[in-house]
Chain A
Amino acid sequence: DAGITQSPRYKITETGRQVTLMCHQTWSHSYMFWYRQDLGHGLRLIYYSAAADITDKGEVPDGYVVSRSKTENFPLTLESATRSQTSVYFCASSDQGSITEAFFGQGTRLTVV
């Protein structure tokens, strides 16, 4: 299916565990982004990538790791999950960064217990 897909949609994990959220897009967009959405904070940028093998920190990168070995995939890893990382995570992609429309996945709801 064309578009941008995130998996899993829902995840419960324990404190201290490593967890990876997947993001896949079929448009060959150059840019990909990870945001987290929290009540009272809106969307905050965690990491973004301008192309394969190029990543950069956003507003709240601590505790997260990303990689982009292929243009279409942009996984987000929580190395040692904490309760403060309980959130809804959105992946997005765009053709030319913030100049054009960003397309969002449906989100992953992560709960850290």
Chain B
Amino acid sequence: GNSVTQMEGPVTLSEEAFLTINCTYTATGYPSLFWYVQYPGEGLQLLLKATKADDKGSNKGFEATYRKETTSFHLEKGSVQVSDSAVYFCALSEDNRLAFGKGNQVVVIP
């Protein structure tokens, strides 16, 4: 079946640093790709999405581009803030449901 792989381990960085979280996928067909964010004590919420190859999703300064040739959907932000501290999940669509990666905790230090 379809699956998503996220880089291992938490990410700790200083405020205003550049953030990259890697996400690669395995899929038959052409799934939609998503990034969800989970702030402490809350449920997940959609951060951005892309529905076809070469689409770029963007929101709140975050961006990710659907790369079919490398089967990737890496999340980037040019200058993080303390308020970006959260867990970030990559996901793809599969038969009317979402398959999630394991998530990456991001900690931004002032």
Q: Which residues of A contact B42 (CB under 8 A)?
A: 106-107
Interface of B is mostly: strand
The number of chain B residues with a CB under 8 A from chain A is 23
Q: Which of A58, A90, A103 contacts B97 (CB 8 A)?
A: A58
Interface of A is mostly: strand
Nearest residue (CB) in A for B96 is A97
Q: Please report which residues of chain A, range 67-113, place their CB below 8 angstroms from some CB of chain B when the two chains form the complex.
A: 90, 92, 96-99, 101-107
In the complex, A40→B87 CA distance in Å? 13
A12 contacts partner chain B, Cβ-Cβ < 8 Å: no
Which B residues fall within an 8 A CB radius of A? 6, 31-32, 41-46, 49, 89, 92-103
Please give me the 5 A-B residue pairs with the lowest Cβ-Cβ distance, nearest first.
Answer: A97-B96, A98-B93, A104-B43, A42-B102, A43-B100
